[in-house]
Amino acid sequence: MLVRWFWKRYVRSRLPALMIGFLLMALEGGALGALSYLVRPLFDNVFIAGNRQAVLVVALIVFAVFIARAIAGFTQRMLMALVARKVSADIQCDLVAHMLTLDSRFYQENSPGILMERVLGDPGAAAGVISTTFSAFGRDLVALVSLLGVALYIDWLWTLIAIAGAPLLVLPILLLQRLVRNMSRATLNASARVTNRLSELFHGINTVKLNTIEEHESRRFANAVSRLVDYTLRAAAANAGIPALMDVIAAIGFLGVLTYGGYQIIDGSKTVGEFMSFFTAISLVFEPLRRLGAIAGAWQAALVSLERIYDIFQMRPAITSPARPAQLGIPIGQADIRLENVSFSYGSQPVIENASFTAPAGRTTALVGASGAGKSTVFGLLTRLIDPDDGRILLGDTDIRNLDLRTLRGLFSVVTQDAQMFDETIRDNILLGSEADEAALARALDAAHVTDFLSSQPEGLDSRAGPRGSALSGGQRQRVAIARALLRDTPILLLDEATSALDARSEAIVQSALERLSEGRTTLVIAHRLSTVRNADKIVVMDQGRVVDEGTHDTLIAREGIYRNLYRLQFSPKREERENGAAPGANRAD
C-alpha cells in the first residue's frame, strides 16, 4: 500500500524518463550476453582456425558493443539520477509544505534535528530505490537472462552444475535482509539524534561556553556519533554479506564445471571456444545476480524511509479553519474579546483553569501575574496557536473557532516575549513578505525607534539580523518586532513584554508610541513592570492559570489582593529609589 502510494504520487509522472532509461539498461545488460557469445567464434573460428580476415571483423564488433554499452550506460545513469533527484525534491517540498500546516504541538513533540533528518534524509533514501529497482530489472535481469541463455546454449549440464548452489542462498539472504531493514531504521534514528545534538549545540553555544560544558557536550556528541557508526557498520556488514555469499556459490560452481568440463575439452568432445564463452558468461552472471540479490535489501531500507514520510503526511493539524467559516457578526471595531470558562493543559499539566474575562473592544486590557501564571498561553489561545480543551473564546459574538484561520490571525499583531527574528535583513524581518509601502515603513521604524540604531548597523535597514536575530541586541530585536506589529496595522494588538528589554528612556518613548497605536484598537498587554500597565483601561490578574481579579489600577490597589502585593513589591520605597536612580532594574534582559 505504501509502495502504491509512493508510485502514484511521485513516480508515475516520471514514467517516460524511466521507460527510456529502462530500454537503455536492457541494451547495456544485453551487451554482456553479446560479448560472452562472441568469445566462442573468436576462439574457434578466428584464433584456432587461424582466420586472418576475421580478426578485424570480430574486433570491430566487440568495439561497437562496448561503445554502445558506454552510451547506453551513461544516458541511463543520468536519467536515473535525474528522476531520483526530482522525486526526492518533490517529496521534500511536499513534506515541508505539509509540516508547516501542523500544530505547534507537533513541533514540541519533535525536535528540529529530528525533523531536519526527516526532510533531508528520508526522501533521498526513498527515491534512491527507484533507480536501484529499474536498473535491477532493466540491466541486471536482461544481463542475467542473456548470459544464462548463452551458457545454456553451450551446455545445459555445465550451467546446472555452475548454479547448483544458488538455492542454498535463499534463506541466508532473507535473514540478512531483515537485518538490513532493522539496521537502516536504527541508523536513521541515530543520525537524527546526531543532527539534533548539533542543532542544540550550535543554537546554545553561549550557554555551553558560559557553563564550561564543552567537554561534556563533546562527549555527548561523540557518543551519538559512535552509536551512528555502530549501526552504519552493522548495516554495511549485512549488505556486504550478500555478495560474499554469492562468491562462495560461484566458487563451488566453478569447481564443479572446471573439473567436469576440463576433461571433456581434453577428450575433444568440447572446443576451447565453447569453454571460454561459457566461462565468460558464468563469470559475468554473478555480478547482476549479486545486484538482484541486493535489491531486496535496498527495498527494506527504502521502506523504512517511506513509512516515516507517509506517517508525516498522515498527520492532520487539529487546529484548522472550519469547512464553512462564519463572518464576524459585528464590526471588528466593536467586537469585545471574551474568554468563557476556558481551560487548557499541556498533557496532564493544567495551565489555564476555567478562566473568564472580557477585553473590551477598542480598549487596553492588561494581563498581570507571576511568571508561569499562564499569560502568554492566553495569547496563544487567542491566536489559535493552541485551542482550549474546554470553554470558548468569542470575538464579538462569534466563537473564534468558527472563523477562517487566516482571517483570524490577520486580525492580530503580536509582539512575542522572545521577539523572534529570521536570518534575513532587518527590512525583510519587518516586512515578512508583505509589500513595502516606504512611507508606512519609515513611520513604523520611527515609532518603534528602530531608526535610532539603524545608523550603527553596517548596512542600515539592509543589515542582516544574524541567525535567529543574534546580530541584534535584545532591545533592538524587540524594537524590530514592534515595528513589524506597527506596520501590520491590525485591529487587535497583543503585546507580550514588548518593551521589557529596552532601557528606561527608549521604553518610555516606545511605550508612548504603542499607547498612541493602541488608541481605538483592542489591545492586550502583558507586562511584569506594573508601571507600564497602570494606565490600562482594565487589568486582569492571573495566578496559577486562574483569573483571580480584575478591575482598574485604582480599584485593584484599593483591594487587599495579589495585585496590590505585586505592586507593593515593585514600588517599595527601596525599589523606587533604584528606579529613580540610574534605572538599572529597568533594563531587564530577555
CB nearer ligand ATP, residue 167 or residue 347: 347
Which among ligand ATP, Mg ion, none contacts residue 144 (Cβ within 5 to 8 A by kind)?
A: none
Beta strands at 390-395 and 337-346: parallel, antiparallel or unpaired: antiparallel
Shortest reach from residue 496's CB to Mg ion, in Å: 6
Shortest reach from residue 69's CB to ligand ATP, in Å: 60
CB nearer ligand ATP, residue 375 or residue 401: 375
Which among Mg ion, ligand ATP, none contacts residue 76 (Cβ within 5 to 8 A by kind)?
A: none
CB nearer Mg ion, residue 418 or residue 424: 418
Backbone CA torsion sign across 415, 418, 423, 425: positive
CB nearer ligand ATP, residue 127 or residue 373: 373
Shortest reach from residue 482's CB to Mg ion, in Å: 17
**For residue 578, which amino acid is it?**
R
Shortest reach from residue 581's CB to Mg ion, in Å: 28
CB nearer Mg ion, residue 274 or residue 496: 496
- Tell me how many residues contact Mg ion (CB under 5 A): 2
522 vs 378: CA distance, rounded Å: 15
In sequence order, the 6+-apart residues with CB closer than 8 A to the CB of 42 are: 58, 62, 273, 276
Which among Mg ion, ligand ATP, none contacts residue 206 (Cβ within 5 to 8 A by kind)?
A: none
Shortest reach from residue 375's CB to Mg ion, in Å: 5
Shortest reach from residue 108's CB to ligand ATP, in Å: 5
In contact, 243 and 109? CB cutoff 8 Å: no
- CA contacts within 13 A on the Cβ side of 425: 12
Shortest reach from residue 345's CB to Mg ion, in Å: 17
CB nearer Mg ion, residue 417 or residue 457: 417
Binding footprint of ligand ATP on the chain (CB under 6 A)? 108, 346, 349, 351, 371-377, 417
Pattern 346-385, Mg ion, x by CB under 5 A:
------------------------------x---------
Q: Which of 278, 259, 258 is nearest to 43 (CA)?
A: 278
Which among ligand ATP, Mg ion, none contacts residue 377 (Cβ within 5 to 8 A by kind)?
A: ligand ATP
> What DSSP line would sit under 53-110, residue for residue?
HHHHHHHHHHHHHHHHHHHHHHHHHHHHHHHHHHHHHHHHHHHHHHHHHS-HHHHHHS
CB nearer Mg ion, residue 369 or residue 469: 369
Which among Mg ion, ligand ATP, none contacts residue 455 (Cβ within 5 to 8 A by kind)?
A: none
Which among Mg ion, ligand ATP, none contacts residue 351 (Cβ within 5 to 8 A by kind)?
A: ligand ATP
Which among ligand ATP, Mg ion, none contacts residue 53 (Cβ within 5 to 8 A by kind)?
A: none
Q: Which of 116, 104, 176, 130 is nearest to 306 (CA)?
A: 130
455 vs 459: CA distance, rounded Å: 8
Please give the residue whose beta carbon sits closest to Mg ion in the complex: 376
Which run of H or E residues covers position 523?
strand 522-526
55 vs 47: CA distance, rounded Å: 8
Which among Mg ion, ligand ATP, none contacts residue 146 (Cβ within 5 to 8 A by kind)?
A: none
Write down the residue that cell numbers 564443479 correspond to.
256
CB nearer Mg ion, residue 105 or residue 528: 528
165 vs 460: CA distance, rounded Å: 75
Q: Which of 155, 145, 164, 12 is nearest to 86 (CA)?
A: 12
CB nearer Mg ion, residue 418 or residue 537: 418
CB nearer Mg ion, residue 126 or residue 498: 498
For residues 401-430, which are near Mg ion according to CB under 5 A? Answer: 417
Shortest reach from residue 373's CB to ligand ATP, in Å: 4
Shortest reach from residue 410's CB to Mg ion, in Å: 23
549 vs 541: CA distance, rounded Å: 5
User: How many CB atoms sit inside 10 A of residue 63's CB?
Assistant: 10
Shortest reach from residue 343's CB to Mg ion, in Å: 18
Which among ligand ATP, Mg ion, none contacts residue 373 (Cβ within 5 to 8 A by kind)?
A: ligand ATP
376 vs 393: CA distance, rounded Å: 15
Backbone CA torsion sign across 490, 491, 496, 500: positive
Q: Which residues bind Mg ion (CB under 5 A)?
A: 376, 417
